[in-house]
Amino acid sequence: MSAPLKVALLGCGVVGSSVARALVDNGDDLAARVGARLELIGIAVRRPDRPRPDVPVDPGLFTSDADTLVRSADVVIEVIGGIDPARELILTAMKHGASVVTANKALLAEDGPTLYAAAAEHGVDLYYEAAVAGAIPIVRPMRESLVGDDVHRVLGIVNGTTNFVLDKMDTTGAGFAETVEQAQALGYAEADPTADVEGFDAAAKAAILASLAFHTRVASDQVHREGITEVSAADVRAAREMDSVVKLLAICELLRDESGTPSGVSVRVHPAMIPRSHPLASVRDAYNAVFVEAAAAGELMFYGPGAGGDPTSSAVLGDVVAVARHRLAGGHGPVESAYADLPVVSMGDAATRYHISLAVADRPGVLAQVAGAFADNGVSIETVRQRVLEDGASRAELVVVTHRAPDAALRATVDALTGLETVDEVVSWMRVEGA
């Protein structure tokens, strides 16, 4: 057995406390797998004096001086979250020779290239399996296993909190606010749950996935983002009537020009209806799933718990063992380099499909007028269903599902429908995927 490796833990909240417990409880097994003991030399937190009965370590290990702690570690685990001080601490750690394991998707999606460059410069590892989809191994498969293939599409449910909320709204009819509170209590939500429900967290993960999948650089602010706060009970009902469910999807697509050369990427996060027959529709609770379509491999699906302390600690510990093994072998893992610089296309240019539900007058000519709004915007209709409402007022519900068209044309169609004399109301509209 080699000399112990010094491990510094930054953060001891939902994820950090699970990691600390695993380092203590599984110390012998981890030592056997690494070939050296992982010695926890300190835990940096905001409030070092706070009692933490669920973390069975010497209370003297807690400190508020993270900057000093990272300078003497071999491996630094960053589970504080947010941009600063996490970024400075990671950079300081690498400068002093430590390899870093982080779950911080917000930071990686905002400033990943700075961190990757620092890891390369200092010859250390930067591993981040826990940053995307909790316990699911997806970063390593994308970074290593699929690096010899051509990935052209990634479609994922990558936020546990929003999946939990949408699932409960669909299956129990529970309200939005109460399910968000449950997700927070279960440790799924970010410190500020706005990051989850407004889609920022999923957008960060989409940026990381698109960068890995297409060997390019995508930052979180380049990802089109819509959260679930606008998803109404009417949307969930409309989906159910279509034998579909509403999910918050992260969609990453590689675009090619006529010659087949990659010409750009589309990266977006928004709610969408997917048919119940699609595998992503059966992803329940805080589970995540990522569909990958690659030229040679075909379709792959990665599925598992997407949030929570213990599931996330599994991914963190896997990375810790990997980087620890590299240190003992005197090397490091794959370095992020040689990137294309593909443009990220705007949402308006992304090819999507819409489900639109309209309240209309039930009289001759309505369908022609509605169809005209689609035709005027170059949008082709796939199906139309009309149901006369039994309110004695000659009203009807018209449900239209379109073929794929540029999102801008679809939005313009919704605007045009809103202004039609025969349309009382655009009751709901939502994008459709997976069909």
Ligand X SMILES: NC(=O)C1=CN([C@@H]2O[C@H](COP(=O)(O)OP(=O)(O)OC[C@H]3O[C@@H](n4cnc5c(N)ncnc54)[C@H](OP(=O)(O)O)[C@@H]3O)[C@@H](O)[C@H]2O)C=CC1
Ligand Y SMILES: N[C@@H](CC=O)C(=O)O
Residues within the interface to ligand X (CB under 6 A)? 11-16, 44-47, 50, 66, 79-81, 85, 103-105, 130, 134, 187-188, 190-191, 307-308, 312
The DSSP 8-state label assigned to residue 344 in this structure reads: B
**Residue written as token pair 């990802």:** 223
3-state secondary structure 109-168: HHHHHHHHHHHHHHCCCEECHHHCCCCCCCHHHHHHHCCCCCEEEEEEECCHHHHHHHHH
Name the minimum Å distance from CB 89 to ligand X. 8
Per the annotation, binding residues for L-homoserine are 190
* Amino acid identity, position 17: S
Q: Is 309 among the residues that bind ligand Y (CB under 6 A)?
A: no
- Give the residues across from 274 on adjacent strands: 245
Decide if 80 contacts 17 (C-beta within 8 A): no
Residue from 188, 291, 303, 374 in contact with ligand Y (CB under 6 A): 188
Q: Is 433 among the residues that bind ligand Y (CB under 6 A)?
A: no
User: Which range, of 173-181, 182-190, 216-224, 371-379, touches ligand Y by CB under 6 A?
Assistant: 182-190
Q: Residues in the chain, how many? A: 435
Name the minimum Å distance from CB 95 to ligand Y. 27
Catalytic residue among 6, 168, 205, 247: 205
205 is catalytic: yes
Q: Residue 161 touches which of ligand Y, ligand X, none (CB < 5 to 8 A by kind)?
A: ligand Y
Per the annotation, binding residues for NADP(+) are 10-17
CA distance 420 to 14: 51
Q: Is 306 among the residues that bind ligand Y (CB under 6 A)?
A: yes
Compare residues 170 and 190 and give the one whose CB is closer to ligand Y: 190
Q: Residue 159 touches which of ligand Y, ligand X, none (CB < 5 to 8 A by kind)?
A: ligand Y
Residue from 189, 207, 272, 281 in contact with ligand Y (CB under 6 A): 189
Decide if 286 contacts 160 (C-beta within 8 A): yes
Closest of 398, 348, 354, 357 to residue 380, by C-alpha: 354
Q: Is 179 among the residues that bind ligand Y (CB under 6 A)?
A: no
CA distance 223 to 207: 7
Name the minimum Å distance from CB 370 to ligand X. 44
Compare residues 156 and 333 and give the one whose CB is closer to ligand Y: 156
Compare residues 204 and 396 and give the one whose CB is closer to ligand Y: 204
Provide the token pair at 416: 């045009």
Q: 95 — phi, psi (to 5°)?
A: -60, -35
Compare residues 30 and 77 and give the one whose CB is closer to ligand Y: 77
CA distance 235 to 249: 15
Q: Residue 74 touches which of ligand X, ligand Y, none (CB < 5 to 8 A by kind)?
A: none
Compare residues 249 and 342 and give the one whose CB is closer to ligand Y: 249
The DSSP 8-state label assigned to residue 220 in this structure reads: G
Residue from 180, 273, 307, 321 in contact with ligand Y (CB under 6 A): 307
CA distance 435 to 112: 34
Residue nearest to ligand X (CB): 13
Provide the token pair at 255: 């675009």
Residue from 201, 226, 253, 433 in contact with ligand Y (CB under 6 A): 201
User: Which range, of 36-44, 58-66, 156-164, 407-415, touches ligand Y by CB under 6 A?
Assistant: 156-164
Strand 405-406 versus strand 351-361 pairing type: antiparallel
Decide if 70 contacts 89 (C-beta within 8 A): yes
Angle at 87 between CA 9 and CA 100, to 5 degrees: 45
Q: Is 196 among the residues that bind ligand Y (CB under 6 A)?
A: yes
Cβ neighbors of 212 (< 8 A, separation 6 or more) are: 139, 142, 143
* Amino acid identity, position 306: G
Name the minimum Å distance from CB 86 to ligand Y. 15
Binding residues with ligand Y: total (CB under 6 A): 11
Q: Is 253 among the residues that bind ligand Y (CB under 6 A)?
A: no
User: Which range, of 58-66, 93-101, 187-195, 400-408, touches ligand Y by CB under 6 A?
Assistant: 187-195
Name the minimum Å distance from CB 229 to ligand Y. 15
**Preceding amide of 85 cis, omega within 30:** yes
User: Which range, of 174-182, 184-192, 238-246, 316-324, touches ligand Y by CB under 6 A?
Assistant: 184-192
Closest of 163, 161, 221, 227 to residue 191, by C-alpha: 161
Q: Is 190 among the residues that bind ligand Y (CB under 6 A)?
A: yes
List the catalytic residues. 205
**Interface with ligand Y (CB under 6 A):** 134, 159-161, 188-190, 196, 201, 306-307
